[in-house]
């Protein structure tokens, strides 16, 4: 194995460890919130383009969750008035989902509550380090998004 392959493998291992540590940390932080991490992830996804409506099958694909899981999240967020569900006028089986102003507010409130911990994670980082990490992370995210299994 050459040096590049060793670095690639090490990067995947480190990324996996980061993912696990972030998951555990996030679960603990969300114990104090009114929504789950999964609900927050869905709200964040919808908040990037609040005018767009989504159907369940589209969310299944982009969120990489199964249909019953997405349906459960949608029902929960609908009960919290965080998303709106409208029946398609041509196909009654289809539901169009949009984030509500309350959902956007909830998403923003959670981000504000998370900000002190986020800042703590990066307190020792220089701005240039943050920018490089963000650029490289976005590059990896884009590749993974375009090359889903």
Is pTM beyond 0.85 here? Answer: yes
Q: What is the pLDDT of residue 92?
A: 85
Task: Check if the beta carbon of residue 95 is closer than 8 Å to that of residue 88.
Answer: yes
CA torsion sign for 126, 132, 137, 138 is: positive
pLDDT tens digits, one per residue of 119-137 = 999 999 999 999 999 999 9
Distance CA 81, CA 43 (A): 12
Task: Check if the beta carbon of residue 28 is closer than 8 Å to that of residue 76.
Answer: no
């Amino acid at each position: 194995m050459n040096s590049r392959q060793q670095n690639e493998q090490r990067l995947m291992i480190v990324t996996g460890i980061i993912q696990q540590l972030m998951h555990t940390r996030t679960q603990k932080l969300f114990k104090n919130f009114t929504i789950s991490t999964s609900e927050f992830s869905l709200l964040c996804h919808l908040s990037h383009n609040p005018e767009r409506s989504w159907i369940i099958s589209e969310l299944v694909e982009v969120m990489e969750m199964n249909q019953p899981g997405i349906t459960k999240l949608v029902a929960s967020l609908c009960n919290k008035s965080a998303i709106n569900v409208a029946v398609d006028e041509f196909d009654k089986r289809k539901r169009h989902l949009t984030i509500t102003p309350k959902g956007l507010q909830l998403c923003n409130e959670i981000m504000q509550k998370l900000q002190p911990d986020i800042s703590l994670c990066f307190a020792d980082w220089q701005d240039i380090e943050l920018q490089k990490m963000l650029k490289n992370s976005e590059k990896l995210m884009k590749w993974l998004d375009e090359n889903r299994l």
